[in-house]
Structure 1
Amino acid sequence: MTQTTAPAAGGPTSVGARALGPDLARGLLLLFIALANTHGFLHPDGVSTIRNTPIASTLPDQVVSFAETTLVDGRSYTLFAALFGYGMVQVYRRQEINGRSWKHARALLRRRGRWLIVLGVLHAVLLYYGDILAAYGILAVLLVPAVRSSSKRLLVWAGVWAVVGAALYGALSAPVSPEGMATLYPWASEHNPLVAMLTRAVAILVSAPALALTAAGAFLIGIWAARIRLFEQPEQHLVLLRRMVLIGIPVSVLGGVPLALYTSGILHGGATDVVPAAVLHSLTGVAGGPAYAALISLWALRAKRGRVVTALQATGQRSLTCYVSQSVVWAIAFFPYLLDLGPRMALWQTVPLAVGTWALTVLMADWMRRAGHRGPLEVLLRRLTYRAGGR
């Protein structure tokens, strides 16, 4: 049976006390994040885009676009949101076990969320325009009372927010002309680093609240899952986990097909065609992300703790550091004043780049594990969250 033990004094959980399933999910999730993020940097001349991704025309690009739209895009961030919500309940539970009041726990969770917003804005300004940390920080600050809500209330509101988020997701998914790309994403072609940073600073003020809205449904599902320890104690929820996998993944894949037909260039259409497909894509993605987590939790029950599993777990334990480390690679590869591969790289070529980058972070995380080091950004966030007076 997989369990966690509470740390002393209400502080963060020690590495040895963490459950395998959620960490494995975070480690594998980072591969999805890498695949989803790389194609957003491409901007070949004369090519329209859907959700900042060039519409595919060659067969290799069409295959990759179709697969990523149905399996990765709109699914990786919902998985991340669910795991983030799950982690918030774990933090709250540790405070409760150690006799801390709700007022104290609420303040701690909101402080953690505020610092995530700060880190996310810095991440966006310095490295990656599509940061997700600030969005999840917003959810932590605004929805912290949800960690004490009933399961029924959580699932009802998850459904409500999923619909609201899907409507916004669809509205932001209309095809964009090559000329429109230059207006919406000016940093993609800006050769002045300071101007590029300024444009990303402005962009994150809009994108973070929007992404928070589209992720809120999955975030609440993650809180619900943590309330019943779904991914920590999978052996006690086998029927539910199997149903989530058998229903959630097919629904997610099939729901992504209509949008994939447009992103892959198989069908061509305007906003009136693409937006409804994107709404469906988003709604079914809320089912897909948690279903992936359920599948990984079932695998964790049978997984042997060999070198691969141990390395993936180490990556999940250092997911914040590994996530930001990916952005360093994207900056080198795609910033116009560095390698500037955005106008020249084919969509299919982003796959080996993403997989290779993720593999490097896995090796880095495993090296830190063997050396006895936590992730530096995890250490920073813990110090900011559990500062003197916050324990």
Structure 2
Amino acid sequence: MATELAGSTGGGTERTGPTDLARRALAPDLARGFLLLFIALANSHYFLRGSEVLGGYPQHGSALDSAGTWLMATFVDGRAFPMFGLLFGYGVAHIVRRQGGAPPRTVRRLLWRRGLVLIVVGILHGLLLYVGDILGAYGALLFAGAWMVRWKDRWLLVIAAMFLVFVSLPTEGSLSVSSDPPDASMLPPDVGTMIVERLQVTPLVALAGPLGFLCPFAIGLWAGRRRVLERPERYRILLWVTAVAGIGLAVLGAHPAALMSSGALDVAGPDVLEVVGPLHDGTGVLGGFGYAALVALLAGRLEARKGPAVRAIAAVGQRSMTCYLLQSVVWTVAFTPFLLDLSGTLTVTTTALLAAATWLGTVLLAHRMQLRGQRGPFEVLVRRVTYGKASSRT
């Protein structure tokens, strides 16, 4: 999502440019398209204000709000972004494979150009629309990832395991159990404050973000070398084990934080929260892997009989960067205090409905662009900088 990921040609002669829309593999696009709904749900509730907030959810709402909080804290928060980190690495592996026998320096420069445009767009996105931008973090990660593409498989798996342990260690400040309300960088009272506050936060997010994405990125590189998501018939056992174990552990690991955020349990003391937050986040990485595996299995069944809904959601995945940025436009208009200022009006439930409607709007838009053979404008920008090609159709 954070960058438009190249799909696989499914075999045949490798090429050095981007993949034609008609030749892309279904699974990565379908996964990113569907998970952008989760991204919308995860991002939007952090704008809400309340007398008490936990994990980005106002407390003491209706029973429907409590149920919605439990569902999103269990299945959405901290689960979608790791999946996109995996797909980012998967797409990078595909890009590298398509360069054929190009010298390593040539491949690194290509990836660095891609990373640079993500950083620039990400900084502008963070300053003007959404301070929680992840495009800049993906771009920064790609500067290191350009070297990682040459690593042996075992080192990718070792670094993935190390950073999975890192994000699971007891620590303060996890978003999943934070009691901090949205600050001035999220809800600025005026344009001047917005720029000043976000100038301090956006670079930090871009620089620190890669630490959280290194594990899924490394696994994505490993899986991309084998085209695991594109060949579910060959890797069926691996995908089923990953789906069942990953999602199952993610649900179990989310429950302490989810039950507290929904009001079903009293909020624990700081010592317990230092464990509960990382537990939620660490198992969320496994959940992201599980979601990716589940969608790959589903895509294997749908590949030969794609209906309009499947094609429309896959079209969102093909334009994930554009659709992600369009979501931020909606959050900016809806929640910014000097615009509609709905952060104190909307509830968890109504915000979730807004998020779902926003995602559905991008599905309809992306499907219409697909019928016209058009790429998203930001996908065209990334391709132009990366490959030096301006075509919106290749």
Task: Calculate the TM-score normalised by the size of structure 2.
Answer: 0.91
Per the alignment, residue 236 of structure 1 pairs with 234
Of 6, 25, 31, which residue of structure 2 is paired with 1:25? 31
State the match for 1:187 in structure 2.
Answer: 185
Is the CA contact (8 Å cut-off) linking 2:177 and 2:257 kept in structure 1?
no
C-alpha distance in 1 between matches for 2:372 and 2:386: 25
Supply the AA of the counterpart residue of 2:173.
A
The verdict on how the C-alpha distance between 1:255 and 1:325 changes in structure 2, with shifts beyond 3 A counting, is same
Deviation at 1:376, TM superposition (A): 0.4
Match of 1:381 in 2: 382
Q: What is the SS of the residue equivalent to 1:236?
A: coil
Summarize the Cα distance change of 1:377–1:5 in structure 2 as closer, same or farther, 3 Å threshold: farther
Is the Cα contact below 8 Å between 1:129 and 1:203 reproduced in 2? yes
Residue of structure 2 in register with 1:60 after alignment: 64
Is 1:73 the equivalent of 2:77? yes
Contact 2:41–2:355, Cα closer than 8 Å, also in 1: yes
- The counterpart of 2:102, out of the listed 100, 103, 108, is 100
Q: C-alpha displacement at 1:350, in angstroms?
A: 1.3
Match of 2:88 in 1: 84
1:188 Cα deviation after fit: 4.0
Q: Distance in 2 between matches of 1:238 and 1:176?
A: 38
The range that moved more, 275-284 or 144-153, is 144-153
- % identity of equivalent residues: 42
Shift of 1:169: 7.0
Which structure shows the bigger proportion of residues in helix conformation? Answer: 1
Deviation at 1:104, TM superposition (A): 0.4
Q: CA RMSD in A?
A: 2.0
Corresponding residue of 1:199: 197
**TM-score, length of structure 1 as denominator length:** 0.92
Rounded to whole Å, the distance in 2 between the matches of 1:145 and 1:118 is 21
Q: CA distance change for structure 1 residues 156 and 262 in 2, over 3 Å: closer, same or farther?
A: same
The superposition leaves residues 229-261 of structure 1 with CA deviations (integer Å, 9 ceiling, x where unpaired) of 111222111111111112111011111111112
Write the mapping of 1:116-155 to structure 2, written as runs, cut at 5 A: 116-155=118-157
The one-character-per-residue Cα deviations of 1:314-371 (angstroms, maximum 9, x if unpaired) are 1110011001011111111101111101112111111111111000000000010111
Compared with structure 1, are the counterparts of its residues 5 and 140 closer, same or farther at alpha carbon in structure 2 (3 Å cutoff)?
A: farther
Q: Deviations over 1:275-301 (max 9, x none)?
A: 211111111111110110110010011
Please state if 1:358 is matched with 2:356: no
Aligned partners of 1:369 and 1:331: how far apart in 2?
27
Change (3 A) 1:65 1:169: farther
Q: How many residues align?
A: 379
Q: Sort the Cα spacing of 1:63 and 1:133 in 2 relative to 1 into closer, same or farther, 3 A.
A: same
- Please give the alpha-carbon distance, in whole angstroms, between the structure 1 residues aligned to 2:226 and 2:71: 33
Residue 209 of structure 1: SS of its match in structure 2?
helix
1:243-322 to 2 correspondences below 5 Å: 243-266=241-264, 267-303=266-302, 304-322=305-323
- The runs of 5 or more residues in structure 2 that have no matched partner are 1-7, 390-394
- 1:173 and 1:275 in contact (8 A); partners too: no
Contact 1:174 1:275 in 2 (8 A): no
* Distance across 2 between alignment mates of 1:313 and 1:56: 38
Show structure 1 runs of 5+ residues with no match: none
Question: 2:392 is matched with which residue?
Answer: none
Structure 1 position 170, deviation (Å): 5.0
Give 1:59's aligned amino acid: A
Rounded Cα–Cα distance in structure 1 between residues aligned with 2:12 and 2:335: 43
Aligned equivalents of 2:224, 2:60: Cα separation in 1: 39
Asked if the contact 2:249–2:287 (Cα under 8 Å) also holds between the matched residues in 1, the reply is: yes
Q: 1:18-60 deviations in whole A, cap 9, x for unaligned?
A: 111111001001011001011011112x22333x443454321
Alpha-carbon offset, residue 204 of structure 1? 1.1
Distance of 1:317 and 1:6 partners within structure 2: 22
Say if 1:170 and 1:259 are closer, same or farther in 2 by CA, change over 3 A: farther
Q: 2:52 aligns with which of 36, 47, 54?
A: 47
What SS does the corresponding residue of 1:246 show, helix, strand or coil? helix
- SS at structure 1 position matched to 2:185: helix
Structure 1, residues 65-95: CA drift from partner, whole Å, max 9, x if none?
A: 1111110101011011000011111111111
